[in-house]
Amino acid sequence: MFIQGTGNDVFLRVTCTCGVLCREEVSHDAILVRMRLKFLSVFPSLPLSAIAPINGAGGGGARDILSLTALYRREDSRAIADRVLTKARHHNQPVTALWIDIDRFRQINDTFGHACGDLIIDSLAKRIQAVVPPASQCIRMGSDEFVILLPSLLPIEVEQLACKVLSQIEKPLLVHDVNIHPSVSIGLHKCREGESPDQLLENADRAMIHAKRQGGNRWVWSGQEALSRELGIEHSRRELAIASMLHEALACGGLSLRYQPIIRPDGSIEAVEALMSCAVGNPPISPGEFIPVAEKIGLIDKLGEWSLLEGALCAARLHRQGWPTKVAINVSRAQLLSEGFLTALQGALLCANVSPQWIELELTESLFMEQTPTVQYNLQRIRDTGVGLAIDDFGTGYSCLATLKDLPATKLKFDRAFIKCLPEDTRVLAIVRAMTDLAHYLGLVVVGEGVETEAQLQACEDFGLDATQGYFQAKPMPESQLLTWLENHDHER
């Protein structure tokens, strides 16, 4: 015999099935009594009253009532919201929606099982019902989500009610000898003029998500989110458009690398940094926009592999044309966490037929500090192959001096946030000078990023930095222009 379902529904079906098999006539109420006893044997710490009332268990209740909590269910939410809005507008009354989501409910389910989880849901639903006004409508929107529709309440009264819900929910609940302290995230939205039921619920849901992102156990009004609904929709559309352009760029060759020279004080070239650009779209999208989207949609590995291969091919071409220059390629966290990263790197070196010494990978300092086994293994293997490693944007992360000595890096690049303060800020001067000396003692090459003025360039050289990079010396350029720039720069030295 195979039984599907959860909560009361399971035990109702199991008991009914047993009744049929035994050919005994069992009343609906008797079934529910047995069901309650069975639940209490599984979950003895809850009182009998915590289990759903008989009239809400499915036998004689209204069809739009959910059996577990005796609340309306999601399928009926739009019709109920429409009914509430119509009545409120007829009487010229405000309507506010509270979207309530139980924090960390998956952890509860995973720890105690779904049967206990259902009982906890039922208990918390009763706590909510105990504090909301009689005129409100309560709807269960999902496994751990509820919506309360409140007519006639002023904003201050809604906030007071939200505080009551938070206080009521967080009372301890004994579950199998463990006292748990539930909490909820609440989104509040007051219906605007002309707003549809769907918009009312969506705005409350959006506010709840923002409350959850802030850590939960709080309420947030719609409009207090980081992005308003309108801006949020516009942002989502922009992300979808960028995702589409990235797929098109990968398929049609719309990606390219632009190279910015890193120059030593004597004018020789330390390396060129490869910066990815996407030519699809008008105007072209910047890396600051498309890299986060690529990480979200899982394209960063493909972009990273393409960048590795193109950078290695460029290094090989430069070498063949008499410019033995290192090419520095940026690597993301997602790439370094991939078990196939080393294979992609080795494949790029083989395809380009270039020596590892002419390739350098740039990673943020937080990546160097990450203790994930895959990351640490990849970092060490990269150095074993002879490829250089640069700590990019140094000074903006969480570097620990105790571990700096153990990093497998070959280069340290000061973030532009330091360089832009030179030479006026004496505190930054002291930091740059001290860290440069320390890096040199550790055998690292030191580079200053974001040099935009002659005074900044002079300060970097005075402090002993090994090389500088920035618009003052050269902007990022295509490979064809880079060759011309290298020739002209060599003549000017």
- Residue in 225, 235, 3 with CA at minimum distance from that of residue 15: 3
274 plus 239 within the same structural domain? yes
Is residue 344 domain-shared with residue 475, that is, in the same domain? yes
pLDDT number for residue 67: 41
Q: Give bridge partners of residue 179 from the DSSP assignment.
A: 174
Cα–Cα distance for residue pair 65/476, rounded to 1 Å: 64
pLDDT of residue 49: 39
Is the same domain home to 88 and 44?
no
Q: pLDDT value at position 56?
A: 35
Within a domain: 173: yes
The answer to whether position 64 is within a domain reads no
Last residue of a domain, one of 160, 192, 226: 226
The two structure tokens encoding residue 102:
């139980």
**Angle 462-468-473 from CA coordinates, rounded to 5°:** 110
Model pLDDT, residue 194: 80
Q: Would you state the pLDDT for residue 280?
A: 80
Please tell me whether residues 289 and 409 are part of one structural domain: yes
- Cis? peptide before 283, omega within 30° of 0: yes
> What CATH code is carried by the domain that includes residue 293?
3.20.20.450
> Is residue 356 within 8 Å of residue 386, measured between CB atoms?
yes
Place of tokens 């250089």: 388
Q: Does residue 270 contact residue 303 with C-beta atoms inside 8 Å?
A: no
The token pair that represents 56 in the structure block: 């809400």
Is residue 186 within 8 A of residue 162, CB to CB? The reply is yes
Residues spanned by the domain of 47: 7-56
In the listed set 226, 257, 286, which residue is the last one of a domain according to the structure? 226
Per-residue pLDDT of the chain (493 residues; tens, 9 = 90+): 333 333 444 333 333 434 333 333 344 444 443 444 344 444 444 443 343 333 333 333 333 344 444 466 666 777 888 888 888 888 888 899 999 999 988 888 888 888 888 888 888 989 998 999 988 888 888 778 899 999 888 888 999 999 999 999 998 888 877 788 899 999 999 988 888 888 888 889 988 988 888 888 999 998 765 555 555 567 778 888 888 999 989 888 889 999 999 999 999 999 999 999 988 866 778 888 888 888 888 888 889 999 999 999 999 999 999 999 999 999 988 888 888 899 999 999 999 999 999 999 999 887 887 777 888 889 999 999 999 999 998 887 666 666 677 788 999 999 998 999 999 999 999 999 999 999 999 999 999 999 999 999 999 999 999 999 999 999 999 999 999 999 999 888 7
The H or E element containing residue 9 is helix 7-21
- Residues 86, 217, single domain; the answer is yes
Q: Are strands 184-190 and 178-180 parallel, antiparallel or unpaired?
A: unpaired
Instruction: Considering only CA atoms, give the Rg of the chain.
Output: 31
CATH number for the domain that contains residue 210:
3.30.70.270
On whether both 179 and 276 belong to a single domain, the answer is no
Please report the DSSP string for 306-346 in residue order. HHHHHHHHHHHHHHHTT----EEEE--HHHHH-TTHHHHHH
pLDDT at 233: 65
Give the DSSP letter of residue 48.
G
Tell me, yes or no, whether 444 lies in a domain.
yes
Please give the pLDDT value at position 297: 84
Cα torsion 287, 288, 289, 291 to 10°: value is: 60
| SS3 at position 188 | strand
CA angle 6, 7, 13 (to 5 degrees): 75
**Domain end position, chosen among 192, 226, 260:** 226
Task: Based on the fold, state whether residues 43 and 87 are members of the same structural domain.
Answer: no
Residue 133 maps to a domain: yes
- Which one-letter DSSP state was computed for residue 408? -
Report if residue 384 sits inside a domain.
yes
The strands making up 137-142's β-sheet, listed across from edge to edge, are 72-73, 137-142, 145-151, 95-102, 184-190, 218-221
Q: CA–CA separation, 488 vs 465, rounded Å?
A: 24
User: Which run of H or E residues covers position 28?
Assistant: helix 28-42
Q: How far apart are CA 29 and CA 55, in angstroms?
A: 10
The answer as to whether 2 is a domain residue is no
Element housing 97 (H / E): strand 95-102
Q: Does any domain span residue 67?
A: no
Q: Are residues 136 and 77 in the same domain?
A: yes
Supply 297's token pair.
């949609």
- 307: tokens are 């960048």
The three-point CA angle 271-276-277 to 5° equals 135
Q: Based on the fold, state whether residues 342 and 480 are members of the same structural domain.
A: yes
Q: Residue 287 class from Cβ within 10 Å (0-12 exposed, 13-18 middle, 19+ buried)?
A: middle
Residue 87 falls within a domain, yes or no?
A: yes
- Structurally, the chain folds into a number of domains equal to 3
Strand (E) or helix (H) holding 30: helix 28-42
pLDDT score, position 122:
87
239 and 218, same domain (yes or no): no
- How far apart CA 255 and CA 390 sit, in angstroms, is 24
> Contact, 359 vs 312, CB < 8 A?
yes
Task: Supply the DSSP symbol for 50.
Answer: G
Pair 275, 410 in one domain:
yes
Q: Which of 75, 30, 38, 82 is nearest to 54 (CA)?
A: 30
What is the model's pLDDT at position 179?
82
Same domain, yes or no, for 125 and 198? yes
Render 348-390 in DSSP notation, one character per residue: HHHHHT--GGGEEEEEEHHHHH---HHHHHHHHHHHHHT-EEE
